[in-house]
């Protein structure tokens, strides 16, 4: 984890000097499962908070990854209290057995999360993150327009 803190510290400093319009963020990762022999730093809310606090970069809260981590590992679906104000970017998508789906209407975690986040003074960016096949399966452009409208409604 300390190596990741050092990397993100360096990335932030480098961008400030060479690419001031670029904002590095540390994203909540999907934890390895099913016997994967991987280590992903930042795959739990606590690890992400450690990296963000240690390096000074903003957090990218991936709502779908939070749900996917919650299912097998029981990690919280929402950031810890001290991380809410450090969120500068959100990846918003639905999940079922497939990741990066267009947003489904109704009682969804992403919707509750965005509503809570908007109450923190959040001024960052929200990306509706979908994979090409899930975009096409959901109806293409119409589904994306509906997803964007749903995000706008949730953050009002």
* pLDDT at residue 39 in the model: 79
Q: How confident is the model at residue 80 (pLDDT cuts 50, 70, 90)?
A: very high
Cα end-to-end span (Å), the chain = 36
What's the pLDDT at 19? 98
In sequence order, what are the residues at sequence separation of 6 or more whose Cβ sits closer than 8 angstroms to the Cβ of residue 126?
A: 89, 90, 92, 114, 151, 155
Nearest to 94 by CA among 114, 65, 116, 70: 65
pTM: 0.92
Residue 53 neighbours by CB under 8 Å, 6+ apart: 82, 86
**SS3 for 58?**
strand
The Cα 60–Cα 155 span in angstroms is 17
Query: Which CATH number characterizes residue 96's domain?
Result: 3.20.20.150
- List, edge to edge, every strand of the sheet that includes 58-62: 25-27, 58-62, 87-92, 125-128
The set of residues, in sequence order, having a beta carbon less than 8 Å from that of 150 and lying 6+ positions away, is: 103, 105, 111
Owning domain of residue 57:
2-154
Tens-place pLDDT, residues 3-16: 999 999 999 999 99
**Number of structural domains, the chain?**
1
The tens digit of pLDDT for each residue in 92-139 reads 999 888 889 999 777 688 999 999 999 998 999 999 999 999 989 999
Specify the DSSP class assigned to residue 20.
T
49, 79 in Cβ contact below 8 A? yes
């Amino acid at each position: 984890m300390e190596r990741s803190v050092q990397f993100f510290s360096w990335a932030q400093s480098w961008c400030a000097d060479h690419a001031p319009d670029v904002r590095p963020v540390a994203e909540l990762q999907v934890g390895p499962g099913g016997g994967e022999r991987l280590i992903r730093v930042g795959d739990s809310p606590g690890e992400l908070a450690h990296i963000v606090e240690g390096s000074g970069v903003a957090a990218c809260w991936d709502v779908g990854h939070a749900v996917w981590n919650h299912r097998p590992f029981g990690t919280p679906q929402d950031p810890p209290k001290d991380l809410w104000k450090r969120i500068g970017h959100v990846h918003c998508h639905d999940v079922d057995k497939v990741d990066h789906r267009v947003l489904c209407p109704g009682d969804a975690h992403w919707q509750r999360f965005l509503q809570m986040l908007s109450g923190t003074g959040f001024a960052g960016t929200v990306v509706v993150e979908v994979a090409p096949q899930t975009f096409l399966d959901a109806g293409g452009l119409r589904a994306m327009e509906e997803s964007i409208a749903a995000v706008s409604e949730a953050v009002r």
